[in-house]
Amino acid sequence: MDEPRLHALMVRSLAGDAPAYREFLSTATGELRAFVRRRLFSGPDEAEDVVQEVLLAVHLKRHTYDPGLPVSAWLYAIARYKLVDHLRRGKRRGVSAPVEAAEGEADVNTVEDGAHRRDIERLLTRLPAKQRRAIELVKLQQLSVREAAAAASMSEADIKVSVHRGLKTLSRLVAEDDAP
């Protein structure tokens, strides 16, 4: 990391210099992206989410930077904190993923990759029929809960519960598959 340059940019940023701040954030993003990707193995998309969280934290907490100290130490301390926080939250999400939250992510997590789809289909066969059907309709075919309920002749509540339980089971299966 080019500490003197980044330090100069940060000092100017704190004085309210918008172009310097923009350059600081762009330069820092490259460093942060490499930092996060080296430590996060769940793919570049998730890494980019963490990078954005770190950038936001850098912005909101920039008053905690002491210009007498290296800016890289400050930046990496925040990055490390946000990365650990992200992993902790991920762990909690894995235990119980509310169906509403999962629905919001549906458009981001479209399964396009054939290999991924095969993996998921393989895992889905290990789920109880009702949970499998609910996940296929809501997550893979991206129907709304109401449409899925009509298609599967199940109640909406039943669909939600089945998706919820199915995702829980899936995350457990994935964890088991990933375990060495």
Partner 1 sequence: MKAKDMKTDDLIQSLSETAQPVRKGRATITFIAAALAALAVCVGIVLLSGQVRADFSEHMTAVLAKAAFSGLLVLATAPAMLWLVHPGRSAGLWIAIGVAVTAVAIVVGVLAVMAGRGELAAALGAGGRPVVFVLIPLLAMPAGWVFFTWGRRYAPTRLALSGAAAGALSGGIAAASYALVCPVDEAMFVATWYTASVVLCGLIGAALGRILLRW
Residue 14 sits in the site that holds partner 1 (CB under 8 A): yes
**Closer CB to partner 1, 74 or 138, in the complex:** 74
The reply on whether position 39 binds partner 1 by CB under 8 A is no
Contacts of 136 (CB under 8 A, 6+ apart): 124
Helix orientation angle between 18-39 and 3-14, rounded to the nearest 10 degrees: 130
Beta carbon nearer to partner 1, 59 or 118:
59
Please provide the DSSP assignment of 59-121 as one string.
HHTGGG--TTS-HHHHHHHHHHHHHHHHHHHHHHHHH---HHHHHHTTTTT----HHHHHHHH
CA 129 – CA 139 distance, rounded (Å): 15
Shortest spacing between CB 25 and partner 1, in angstroms: 4
Which stretch in 48-56, 92-100, 142-150, 157-165 sits in contact with partner 1 by CB under 8 A?
48-56
AA identity, residue 99? V
- What residues from 59 to 78 belong to the interface with partner 1 (CB under 8 A)? 59, 61-67, 69-70, 73-78
The CB-based long-range contact list for 24-29 (8 Å cut-off, 24+ gap) reads: 25/55, 25/58, 25/59, 27/2, 28/55, 28/58, 28/75, 29/55
Q: Which lies closer to partner 1 via its Cβ, residue 38 or residue 63? A: 63
Number of residues that bind partner 1 (CB under 8 A): 39
Q: For residue 45, state whether it binds partner 1 (rule: CB under 8 A).
A: yes
Determine which residue in the list 1, 25, 106, 161 makes contact with partner 1, applying CB under 8 A. Answer: 25
Give the footprint of partner 1 on this chain (CB under 8 A). Answer: 13-19, 21-22, 25-26, 29, 44-45, 48, 51-52, 55-57, 59, 61-67, 69-70, 73-78, 80-81, 85
